[in-house]
């Protein structure tokens, strides 16, 4: 009787890590509520509709869920076999956005393709493509990459072109997140420590050189350093320093328990990008530090589940899926850490959204797509584990 019951349990459909699904839905719900609260003023002012951004976000969530269901049915083997092709796709998108008459320019950057119904920030899907390419590279050439300095340099040589294209947009924040994920994938794949340390120093040095090579990046750093000394100095008003000062005012007003949902003052044009890059400052003002800690707890649990999926695939010898899952997890880690650090003044403004929370279709669609890929990797790993147990 017990064997029959166990057989029935084993034959039940498995839809992926249930905790990852629940945490994703919680983050989407939390984000929808807080993004709506943060955007009502700007929606009313610009579009005569306080729920303008809410309606757009709901549409993007529905689109993301539909797209996620499609991705959920694509075998991981397809991504492995097509990892070079998706890398080429990423390069094509990054080139297209720079072509006159095709790329859409806003806020001093040319980062979007106008699709008619939305503007797609190409660096978002490019993150997935690059992670899949790197996972394929590591799974096929693991010994060469992790066993020699020459091999270790191969992923960085491959990254030179997409990084150059991203810097031409310019999108320095995307470069930081992608390189962070690639470095993490190499480290977890077993790259020699001194190779990894050498590469880390080279990447940090290149980053510093890039900052110093562009006037707008240097101005952003200088305004960041000036912000706490004189947040309303004429040279930094409405620059990143001004945003940081207003974000910290939001944290200060919220204290531990917040001013209450919908009661933010900073969202009334005091804090630019309050519903996008600086939404966590609005959350802190309305829900307090406790609300921010709850949100960070949800992110920590979500990322933990992603890493568990990666580790489980690695243990079962599914190395492509494992490296890809590690890369996707570290994309989330990079964006959350950088966004929160910018909001509290630990880093200069990078122009990165908070996954699932900030307003923006490209980011939201990409985040849901990454969750779908993680679930597919978990489903296949679960099925393979079941087959091995049955064979045993």
Model pLDDT for residues 5-56, shown as the tens digit of each residue: 445 545 678 989 999 999 999 999 999 999 999 999 999 988 999 999 999 9
Largest CA distance in the chain: 79
What pLDDT is attached to residue 220?
66
What pLDDT is attached to residue 363?
95
Q: Is residue 344 part of a domain?
A: yes
CA distance 182 to 155: 8
Angle of the 279-315 helix axis to the 361-391 helix axis, nearest 10: 20
Per-residue DSSP letters for 152-196?
HHHHHHHHHHHHHHHHHTT-HHHHHHHHHHHHHHHHHHT--HHHH
CA distance 370 to 19: 15
CA distance 136 to 80: 6
What pLDDT is attached to residue 11?
64
What pLDDT is attached to residue 223?
63
Total structural domains within the chain: 1
Q: Is residue 315 part of a domain?
A: yes
Q: Is residue 6 part of a domain?
A: no
Q: Is residue 291 part of a domain?
A: yes
What pLDDT is attached to residue 385?
72
Q: Is residue 360 part of a domain?
A: yes
Q: Which residues of the chain have pLDDT under 70?
A: 1-11, 107, 213-214, 216-217, 219-241, 386-392
Q: Is residue 301 part of a domain?
A: yes
What pLDDT is attached to residue 238?
46
What pLDDT is attached to residue 203?
76
Q: Is residue 144 part of a domain?
A: yes
Q: Is residue 7 part of a domain?
A: no
**Is-contact 50 40, C-beta < 8 A?**
yes
What pLDDT is attached to residue 334?
96
Residue span of the structural domain in which 274 resides: 16-387
**Tally of residues, the chain:** 392
Per-residue DSSP letters for 254-323?
HTTT-S-TT--STTTTTSTTTTTTTHHHHHHHHHHHHHHHHHHHHHHHHHHHHHHHHHHHHHTT-HHHHH
Question: What b/e readout covers 24-44, taking b as 16+ CB neighbours within 10 angstroms?
Answer: bebbbebbbbbbbbbbbbbbe
Using alpha carbons only, what angle is made at residue 145 by residues 127 and 314, rounded to the nearest 5 degrees? 65
CA distance 373 to 86: 14
């Amino acid at each position: 009787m017990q064997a029959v019951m166990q057989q029935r349990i084993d034959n039940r459909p498995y839809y992926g890590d249930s905790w990852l699904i629940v945490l994703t839905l919680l983050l989407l719900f939390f984000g929808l509520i807080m993004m709506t609260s943060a955007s009502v003023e700007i929606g009313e002012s610009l579009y005569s509709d306080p729920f303008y951004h809410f309606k757009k976000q709901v549409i993007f969530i529905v689109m993301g869920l539909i797209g996620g269901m499609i991705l959920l049915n694509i075998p991981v083997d397809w991504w492995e076999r097509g990892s070079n092709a998706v890398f080429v796709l990423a390069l094509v998108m990054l080139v297209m956005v720079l072509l006159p008459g095709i790329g859409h320019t806003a806020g001093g950057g040319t980062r979007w393709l106008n699709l008619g119904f939305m503007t797609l920030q190409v660096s978002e899907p490019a993150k997935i493509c690059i992670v899949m390419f790197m996972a394929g590279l590591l799974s096929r050439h693991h010994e060469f990459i992790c066993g020699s300095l020459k091999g270790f340099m191969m992923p960085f040589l491959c990254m030179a072109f997409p990084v150059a294209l991203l810097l031409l947009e310019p999108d320095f924040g995307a470069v930081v997140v992608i390189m962070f994920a690639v470095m993490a994938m190499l480290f977890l794949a077993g790259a020699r420590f001194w190779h990894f340390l050498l590469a880390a120093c080279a990447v940090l040095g290149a980053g510093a050189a890039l900052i110093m090579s562009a006037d707008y990046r240097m101005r952003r750093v200088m305004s960041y350093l000036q912000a706490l000394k004189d947040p309303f100095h004429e040279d930094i008003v409405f620059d990143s320093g001004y945003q940081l000062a207003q974000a910290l005012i939001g944290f200060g007003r919220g204290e531990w328990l917040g001013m209450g949902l919908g009661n933010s003052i900073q969202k009334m044009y005091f804090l630019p990008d309050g519903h996008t890059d600086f939404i966590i400052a609005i959350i802190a003002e309305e829900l307090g530090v406790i609300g921010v800690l709850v949100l960070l707890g949800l992110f920590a649990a979500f990322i933990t589940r992603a890493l568990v999926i990666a580790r489980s695939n690695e243990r079962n010898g599914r190395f492509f899926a494992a490296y890809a899952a590690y890369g996707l997890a570290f994309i989330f880690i990079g964006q959350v850490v950088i966004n929160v650090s910018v909001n509290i003044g630990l880093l200069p403004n990078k122009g990165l959204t908070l996954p699932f929370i900030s307003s923006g279709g490209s980011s939201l669609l990409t985040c849901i797509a990454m969750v779908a890929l993680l679930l597919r990797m978990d489903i296949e790993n679960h099925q393979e584990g079941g087959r091995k147990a049955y064979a045993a």
